[in-house]
């Protein structure tokens, strides 16, 4: 059985589909141990994304957000899932939440601008893109 820290330490980007499926099975079989772990739900969602299981990934990201309403990584991934499935208003809502939490998140500004372009809102998109540029050039 894997611990929470072992699951979180796995670089899922480097795993092949068989290893991802095995890791997912391990998490599913032991999910009662992880029921309050926001980061495990996020990692689980990322695994399901990579396994082309967008509906399951959506559930996992929502679970993470239930545990931590400001879990920005889950917000971003859920927003990207919504954008891919043409749920543009839902996606934009999440990117707006991201930039409220962190106004320096240029990727959220950029992604929101891209969504607004898809929604045929060029003037609003331009404002978001300007904010993305501004956020990207800020020095910390």
Q: List, for residues 124-133, the tens digit of each pLDDT value.
A: 999 999 999 9
SS3 category, 8 = helix
Cβ 23 vs Cβ 1: under 8 Å: no
Per-residue pLDDT tens over the stretch 36-65: 889 999 999 999 999 999 999 999 999 999
Per-residue pLDDT tens over the stretch 62-75: 999 999 999 999 99
Rounded to 5 degrees, φ, ψ at 24 are -60, -45
Q: Virtual CA dihedral for 60, 64, 66, 72, nearest 10 degrees? A: -120
Residue 110 confidence class, pLDDT cut points 50, 70, 90: very high
Q: Is the sign of the CA dihedral 123, 84, 77, 35 positive or negative?
A: positive
Distance CA 133, CA 107 (A): 10
Distance CA 105, CA 10 (A): 25
Q: For the chain, how long is the longest CA-to-CA vector?
A: 52
Tokens of residue 62, six digits? 């929502």
Tokens of residue 65, six digits? 């957000």
Residue 2 confidence class, pLDDT cut points 50, 70, 90: confident
pTM of the predicted protein model? 0.87
């Amino acid at each position: 059985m894997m611990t929470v820290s072992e699951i979180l330490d796995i670089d899922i980007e480097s795993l092949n589909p068989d290893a991802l499926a095995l890791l997912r099975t391990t998490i599913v079989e032991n999910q009662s141990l992880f029921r309050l772990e926001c980061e495990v739900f996020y990692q689980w969602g990322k695994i399901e994304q990579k396994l082309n299981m967008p509906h399951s990934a959506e559930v996992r990201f929502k679970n993470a957000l239930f545990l931590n309403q400001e879990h920005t990584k889950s917000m971003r991934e859920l927003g990207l899932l919504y954008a891919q499935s043409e749920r543009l208003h839902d996606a934009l809502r999440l990117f707006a939440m991201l930039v409220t939490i962190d106004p320096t998140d240029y990727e959220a500004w950029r992604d929101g601008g891209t969504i607004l372009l898809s929604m045929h809102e060029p003037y609003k998109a331009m404002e978001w893109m300007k904010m993305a540029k501004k956020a990207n050039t800020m020095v910390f």
